[in-house]
Amino acid sequence: MISWRYHVVSIVAVVLAFGLGILAGTSVVNEEFLRELRENTEEAQAQRDAAEAELAIHERVARELQPILRDGVLEGREAIVLTTEGVEGPARRVIEELAAAGVEPLTTISLTRRLLELDPDDLAVLQEILGTTSGDETSLHVELAQELAARLAFGPDAGPDDVLADLLDRGLVTADRDLDHEALQEIGGAGQLVALAAGGTPPEGLPDPAVLLLPLSEDLLQNQVPVAVVGPREDGYGLVEAVRASGAVPDCSLVTVDHIDLTIGGIALVMGIDRLLDDRDPAFLPGGDYGVRAGALLPGDPPASCRR
């Protein structure tokens, strides 16, 4: 009788022999494949190193030019920053850059995960705030984006209802400062810039930008609000790319920056907003896409796609 141990050893021996035969028969192919793989890897690493070296040069120059190109450029302007709970890092960078440019940051508003992922209790709260009986979560988010965009575009209504105040009171959004009734009256209205900022590595399961930040940017544009959308180079959240890809966002209608983690990204944000707000050239829309993925680190001559 053949033992089980002998049977297993025999099977292993056959498998090893078969594998060695394959390796022996394909050694030339393997060597050629490995050679090409090494060459391709070395070429990619060289390209990466060259790009990083060029970027380092831009950063050194940017630090020297920062006081001229950024500081005080937007003196007297007002801004509201919107972000999402869990990806607030870019929002802090935006506040730093705008404050250095002379902007008065009125507040940073963060959309909570409760608002993005409605459980039955929060769904009922949102229905109450919006005055609707719709139980469809997607429809509620669409309506909320429209209401919040209008609130930021035109300021609070004269009546008692204020969607922003209601969201704050119910904990569905948070702010970086105490917004009492008087302070809320200053939030929203003509001339205020709205910057949407998010990016980096989001917490597991965090809904993507399409839930609220993307429709908010689209609705703000429809209400003629100056908008900037900002993220870092390493971005698993994807807000900037989602806005750039949106068919509801015409080219050059707003400012996008995908390298806010760099000094030059802060300068691009300020220069881009300055152009957006002043609209100096009637032949071109004043917005633009800036960053390492956009192909332009800083605002320059507007591309043909920006022509009105």
Q: Do residues 41 and 136 share a domain?
A: no
Q: For residue 295, give the 3-state DSSP assignment.
A: coil
User: For residue 3, what pLDDT is reported?
Assistant: 43
pLDDT of 62 strictly over 90: no
Quote the CA–CA distance of 202 and 221 in Å, as a whole number: 26
- Tell me, yes or no, whether 155 and 264 share the same domain: yes
Number of neighbouring beta carbons within 10 Å of residue 73: 17
154 and 256 inside one domain: yes
| E-strand stretches of 53-103 | 78-84
pLDDT tens digit string along 106-134? 999 999 999 999 999 999 999 999 999 99
Work out the angle at residue 234's Cα, subtended by the Cα atoms of residues 42 and 305, and round it to the nearest 5 degrees. Answer: 95
* pLDDT value of residue 17: 52
- Burial label, 275 (beta-carbon count in 10 A; 0-12, 13-18, 19+): buried
Query: What whole-number distance in Å separates Cα of residue 14 and Cα of residue 1?
Result: 20
Residue 144 resides in a domain: yes
Domain count, the chain: 2
- The arrangement of strands across the sheet holding 288-290 comes to 173-175, 104-111, 78-84, 193-197, 227-230, 255-257, 288-290
Residues 35 and 166 in one domain: no
264 and 258 in contact (C-beta within 8 Å)? no
Q: How far apart are CA 79 and CA 202, in angstroms?
A: 25
182 and 265: one domain? yes
Q: Is residue 179 part of a domain?
A: yes
Q: Is the pLDDT of residue 19 over 70?
A: no
Range of the domain at 157: 75-306
What are the φ/ψ torsions at residue 231 (nearest 5 degrees)? Answer: -155, 175
pLDDT tens digit string along 178-227?
888 889 999 999 999 999 999 999 999 999 999 999 999 999 999 999 99
Is a pLDDT exceeding 90 seen at residue 244?
yes
Distance, in Å, from the CA atom of 151 to the CA atom of 155, rounded to the nearest integer, reads 5
Q: Do 228 and 189 share a structural domain? A: yes
Residue 62 inside a domain? The answer is: no
Q: 109 vs 17, 48, 79, 137, 224, CA distance in Å? A: 65, 37, 11, 21, 20
Residue 268, strand partner residues: none
Of 51-55, 89-93, 98-102, 304-308, the one with minimum mean pLDDT is 51-55
Instruction: Please check the confidence at residue 96 and state whether its pLDDT lies above 50.
Output: yes
The predicted-structure confidence for 148-168, as pLDDT tens digits, reads as follows 999 999 999 866 789 999 999
**Residue 169: its pLDDT value, please?**
95
Over the stretch 271-308, which tens digit does the pLDDT of each residue have?
A: 999 999 998 888 999 999 999 999 899 999 888 889 98
The answer, yes or no, to whether residue 20 has pLDDT greater than 70, is: no
Q: 38 or 25: which carries more pLDDT confidence?
A: 38
DSSP 5-41: HHHHHHHHHHHHHHHHHHHHHTHHHHHHHHHHHHHHH
Average pLDDT over residues 89-115: 95
pLDDT (0 to 100) of residue 18: 52
The reply to whether 45 and 82 lie within a common domain is: no
Taking 80 as the threshold, does the pLDDT of residue 13 lie above it? no
Residues 275 and 132 in one domain: yes
The answer to whether residues 240 and 276 belong to one domain is yes
At 177 the pLDDT is 87
pLDDT band at 243 (very low <50, low <70, confident <90, very high): very high
Q: Is residue 35 part of a domain?
A: yes
Inter-residue contact 57 to 263 (CB < 8 Å): no
Query: pLDDT value at position 109?
Result: 97
C-alpha–C-alpha distance, residues 306 and 67, integer Å: 28
Collapsing DSSP to helix, strand or coil, 210 comes out as helix
pTM, 2 dp: 0.82
Q: What is the pLDDT, as a whole number, of residue 125?
A: 97
Q: Is 59 contained in some domain?
A: no
Contact 248, 237 (CB under 8 A): no
Confidence at residue 178, expressed as pLDDT on a 0 to 100 scale: 87
Report CA Rg, the chain.
26
Question: Quick one: pLDDT at residue 29?
Answer: 56
- In sequence order, what DSSP letters do the residues of 171-195 get, joined into one string? TSEEESS---HHHHTTSS-TT-EEE
